[in-house]
Amino acid sequence: MIIVVTIKDIAKEAGVAVSTVSRVLNNHPDVSEKTKLKVLDIIEKRKFVPNSNAKHLKQQNTNTIGIFVKGTFNFLFHSILEKIQPLIEDSGYITVVNYLDEDENEVQQARIFCNEKKPQGIMFLGGNLKNFQDHFSKIDIPSILVTNSASQLNFSNLSSVTTNDKKAVEFAIEYLIEKGHTNIGIIGGNADSSNISEVRLKSIIKTLYKHKINFDISSHFEPARYSFESSYKACQRLINKKLGITAIFAMSDVMAIGAMRAMTDSKISIPSDISVIGYDGIELVNYYNPKLTTILQLQDQIALNAVKIITSQIEKNLDPIHKVLPFKLMEGESVIRI
């Protein structure tokens, strides 16, 4: 006999209202983390499928790979995604793309997706390692984290492809130092919620320390979201401190461009007054004036390796692979020697 589990059953077992279960399924923000996890655990245990999907369950294409993209303004992820999708489809799979705010929990959303869509694999473009540490054990299909390393997490079904961020940031800071810049401002993500931002900030501090350059994080670092508007405001805060900085390192090209706009609006000339270097190598930097100097992530290689790994693990059940790719400096017009 087939037992049909309903949303009322889930609500009853969790001790919450039906509307609360519905909000969890639809990713509403007004549900506590504790309640959300409790509901998700029961959903997985009872193998619950929402009614709108249950009648189509047998018809679902099992060749689906779910892709979760962190950050609606992340131009790098959008570019990598454009390269990934045709590669996946050429391999015989269908992609379902889910866009998330950079503060959302991508692993929880993947858990809901797995329960509803029954994909063959999951690809994360960006992710917070704490979310993986806390919740990924509930996902049992091949998965890959792209642009962040999962090697230290030791999950048997989670691979990763990333640029060598530590070395790349060290190279960028030393490039500025070689140009005579020792008073450097930093615009970057929140290190408490973003692993990439934490890795890059630590590498910045370590590199400056290696060169015996004092760095006051409370004055010379301004946190920002990975968006034009947020980095624009972060740069304004740096400017208003009147620190005499001669260069800014931004943890993404989007941040760098937002900062450059703020400087232009404040009548600060780039690079004669302040030099700027970014990170990612998105196409837009080639068309900004002045052309931005940046660390180029090798997007074609990232996409190719990510697709090769996830499809191989789906088909061959391989052990996890953690690939670290090189980077390049792309010199533009935004940095000068002083």
Full domain range(s) for residue 207: 165-297
Arithmetic mean of pLDDT, 92-117: 92
Do 171 and 292 fall into the same domain?
Answer: yes
Task: Give residue for tokens 């007054």.
Answer: 273
CATH number at residue 35: 1.10.260.40
Per the structure, the count of domains in the chain is 2
Distance of alpha carbon 278 from alpha carbon 296, whole angstroms: 9
Arithmetic mean of pLDDT, 109-138: 94
In this structure, is residue 11 part of a structural domain? yes
Do 290 and 171 fall into the same domain?
Answer: yes
- Span 192-206, pLDDT tens digits: 777 889 999 999 999
In this structure, is residue 123 part of a structural domain? no
Last residue of a domain, one of 16, 37, 59: 59
Distance of alpha carbon 172 from alpha carbon 159, whole angstroms: 27
- Span 127-163, pLDDT tens digits: 999 999 999 999 999 999 999 999 999 999 999 999 9
Taking CA atoms, 218 is separated from 186, 188, 222, 256, in Å, by 11, 13, 8, 20
Distance of alpha carbon 71 from alpha carbon 193, whole angstroms: 13
Q: What integer pLDDT is reported at residue 51 of this predicted model?
A: 58
For residue 110, pLDDT beyond 80: yes
- Span 166-179, pLDDT tens digits: 999 999 999 999 99
CATH number at residue 242: 3.40.50.2300
For residue 336, pLDDT beyond 60: yes
Using DSSP's 3-state secondary structure scheme, residue 55 falls into coil
Arithmetic mean of pLDDT, 233-253: 97
Q: What integer pLDDT is reported at residue 3 of this predicted model?
A: 61
